[in-house]
Amino acid sequence: MAASKTTEDGAALGANAQPADRQSLRAELDRRTAGQRLTPGQRRIAQCMIENSAQLGFLSSMELAELADVSQPSVTRFAVALGFDGYLEMRRFLRANHSGEGTAPEPCEANRYQTAVLAEASNLTELAQSLADTGLIERFGEALAKSKPLAVLGLRASAGLATQFAYFAAKVHPDVRLLAGGGSFVEDQIEQCAAAGGRTMLVFMMPLHPRETIRAIECARHAGMRIALVTDASFNNHDGLADILLTSRVSNRLLFDSYAGSAILVSVLLDALCTSMKGDAQKRLDAVDRSSKRRKVFMS
């Protein structure tokens, strides 16, 4: 990587420059941001760079900032986060290494939404490979089935995953307690679960990994409960937190994260729960189904 600087005017490409290779630029940005937690503003800058790759050589940091609807210092900070001394060095490097010269334009360039979905598909393939250890899934299912009551914790961004699991788990498990409120009240609920005989708390913890979730885990462990943790693959501070652990990669291609892998893990764990409960799960499902039909709960 060149360390020398140049002027804004001198850095501009000529009028006959070839458009930058979007896929190559996207791969470079992914490589440089691997393991980092990008802010919404940084994600906008990255996406704007990809969408305007053909013009990058002509854009000043201020112009890129206007396109991305962020401040000029935000663009400079993003360049530094990528490992450059500043915006000019970043532009020089990307032009030299990702100019796309000599490559034919892609006939079907995916838009940002298609790219996000394709990235999730790649994440799901990786997740499928990680689930080869069925013994781990069985241990989850056994721990969840034996805990009565079963505490299910999901705060902030994780509340939806916890709610989905708790809704379906309650159809087969006799006592599922959803903990999604946070604060000191959730600590009261955890202590009540432990006092009632609960031995496991299932925790969903997606980025940005709330401190209140960590405090709730510590509270549960202090009460003698085991922690079954579902979190994203980038979270590395789970030592001492989780007794059993499942991870899935979170996609940050768009402005807000998507949790396709984690949503599938909800279904995986529900299946493991039912498998561990054996015939009891089917009996409860049959009873729920008869009750729903009698009360005409659903349209069909």
Give the pLDDT confidence of 19-75 residue by residue, as tens digits.
346 777 888 888 888 878 788 788 888 888 888 777 776 688 888 888 888 888 888
Q: Is 277:175 a contact under the CB 8 Å cutoff?
A: no
Tell me the pLDDT band of 262, cut-offs 50, 70 and 90.
very high
- pLDDT for 8 equals 38
Q: What is the mean pLDDT of residues 117-132?
A: 90
Q: Is 68:48 a contact under the CB 8 Å cutoff?
A: yes
For 48, half-sphere exposure in the C-beta direction (CA atoms, 13 angstrom radius) is: 18
User: 73 phi and psi, to 5 degrees?
Assistant: -60, -30
